[in-house]
Chain A
Amino acid sequence: MEDLIKIKGLSKSFKKLTVVKNLTTNFAGGERIALIGQNGAGKTTLIRCILGQYVFDGQLDVLGMNPRTHRKEILQEVGFVPQTPPPLKMTVKELLEFIAKITNTEKDKFRELSHSMGLNIEDNLSKPFFKLSGGMKQKLLIAFALGRNPKILLMDEPSANLDPAAREILFSKLKEFSKNALMILSSHRMSELSTLVNRVVEMDLGEITIDKKVN
């Protein structure tokens, strides 16, 4: 399948500290990648480069475009779940409306997905997002990411705030996720992702140390 993300000699430094070092790899449609590694390995930095949030050295093409100069076009096709849910002060209703408008997605898609993960959006519409429990926030963010049918799905520790039951549901949803899309799941633990992925990329100190296909 077509490479959706092409990385060649990608480096990212913060002052004198190089966090991602001369990375070269490609991620293709249909790949389900476990991006694993210790804290500080460079996983989140790589994801933020893909999202166009960091200036970087080297070459990085997402859907054939530079993520710094074509952010809106790229991000229209990217679903993202952050490691830590942001403390958004807006209500769930406002957030739902905002994301639906900005991504041109029907609100019902997000509602349906939330319901299927055990979160009744209607009961929480008037609550500020930051006042939801950790699990509720995570489910909502996952619904926003999956509901858009993105070509690329980036999830940074997606199951960190979920209880075992919700984790099961999430993984079943991810298994149903479009076969042509690219999915990158960042995690400390390979064990919980093993049934879900077909490629494992391990990073350590900003470099790829293991890159292998798995069944």
Chain B
Amino acid sequence: MDKSIIEITILDVRQNLRSRWFWVYSLLFGGFVAIMFAMGITESQIIGFVGLSRLMVTFMQVSMVILPIYVLISTVRSVVGDRESNVMEYILSLPVSFTGYFWGKFIGRFIVIYVPVFIALLGAAIWGTITNIDVPWNLFTYYSFLLGAMVFCFLGIGMFISAIARSQDMAVSSAFIIWLILVAFLDLLLMGIMLKMRMNPEIVIGVGMINPLQVFRTAVLALFDPKLTVMGPASYYILDIVTRNVFIVFAIAYPVLLGALLGILGNRHFNKNDII
């Protein structure tokens, strides 16, 4: 393995651990779980979810709102920001490969974004064990992978934008537009309208299946009985056509592959062009 990947990863993680955003972000997710416990969410029952399942589903829904835009905005600045500030000129005058630099940053970001979210989820499970609440370990494992897949996917999108953008402003604007498009193609918005207009369901499902946000949203609820009011029309159609197990595998594999593909394309662009 390229030594510079490990060194850049360590450097990136160390830098992020010192930054204020990392601690605010970690406290946000940790604090959210603590508040949910304090508010007695595990004792409430809404749409069939109780106990820690209820807490985890809520946690995932909040993650779906916060994580993608957060990952995008914090990542798109990384490569282009280093380029604009001359950091890249210096670091890449050292024996660091382009690939090592790019993937080192990618892995470093993944660690600092995923670990706090995972720890918050794990903390909930541990607290549940201590307070004698049944811990749905299958759900915990599934959601941990699902969160990892989503973070990886949006990191891939963010790093790709960061590699090709010529300025931080352009990178942030592009990230925001992409996020808006993905949100617009969720069940509750455009997908619902598309179905109401009686468009071919296969097209609607196709659009849903390529939207990582939609895949995540459907996957979060896929373990439970699909109810149209909860899941939205596209999720309902998707789960009606493919079996739940197939969709679960798809929901983890697809975002990872999409993130990896965009990461590879970003790295390729980075390798083949002027870096400053």
Contact = CB atoms under 8 A, between A and B. Distances in A.
B95 A51 contact: no
Contact of B95 (A53, A71, A82, A88): A71
Which of A48, A71, A75, A82 gathers the greatest number of chain B CB atoms within 10 Å?
A71
Interface residues of A, number: 28
A208 to B, nearest CB: 22
Nearest to A55: B274
Given A53-B276, A71-B98, A89-B18, A102 B7 contact: yes
Interface in A77-117: 78, 80, 82, 84-90, 94, 98-99, 101-103
B242 interface: no
Contacts of A71: 92, 95, 97-98
B18 to A, nearest CB: 7
Interface in B260-276: 272-276
A71 B89 CA distance: 13
B90 A54 contact: no
B230 to A, nearest CB: 44
Contacts of B85: 86-87
B89 A72 contact: no
B141 interface: no
Contacts of A102: 3-4, 7, 94-96
A80 B10 CA distance: 23
A53 B3 contact: no
B92 A72 contact: no
A154 B10 CA distance: 27
A76 interface: yes
B15 interface: yes
Nearest to A72: B95
Contacts, number: 74
A161 to B, nearest CB: 14
Contacts of B96: 72, 75, 102
Contacts of A72: 4, 95-97
Given A54-B274, A82-B86, A75 B11 contact: no
Interface string A148-167: 00000010000000000000
B93 interface: yes
Contacts of A75: 93-96
B14 interface: yes
A54 B276 contact: yes
B87 interface: yes
Contact of A55 (B10, B90, B272): B272
Interface string B61-101: 00000000000000000000000011101111111111000
A201 to B, nearest CB: 20
B32 to A, nearest CB: 28
Nearest to B14: A94
Interface in A101-147: 101-103, 141
A86 B10 CA distance: 19
Interface string A64-79: 0000000111011010
A104 B96 CA distance: 12
Nearest to B94: A102
B87 A87 contact: yes
Interface in B149-173: none
Contacts of A55: 272-274
A122 B268 CA distance: 40
Contacts of A51: 92-93
Contact of A99 (B87, B89, B94): B94
Interface of A: 48, 51, 53-55, 71-73, 75-76, 78, 80, 82, 84-90, 94, 98-99, 101-103, 141, 154
20 contacts: A48-B276, A51-B93, A53-B92, A53-B275, A53-B276, A71-B95, A72-B95, A72-B96, A73-B95, A75-B96, A78-B93, A80-B90, A82-B89, A86-B85, A86-B90, A87-B85, A90-B11, A98-B7, A101-B7, A102-B7
Given A82-B86, A86-B89, A141-B90, 10 more contacts: A53-B276, A54-B276, A71-B92, A75-B94, A78-B93, A82-B90, A89-B15, A94-B14, A98-B11, A101-B7
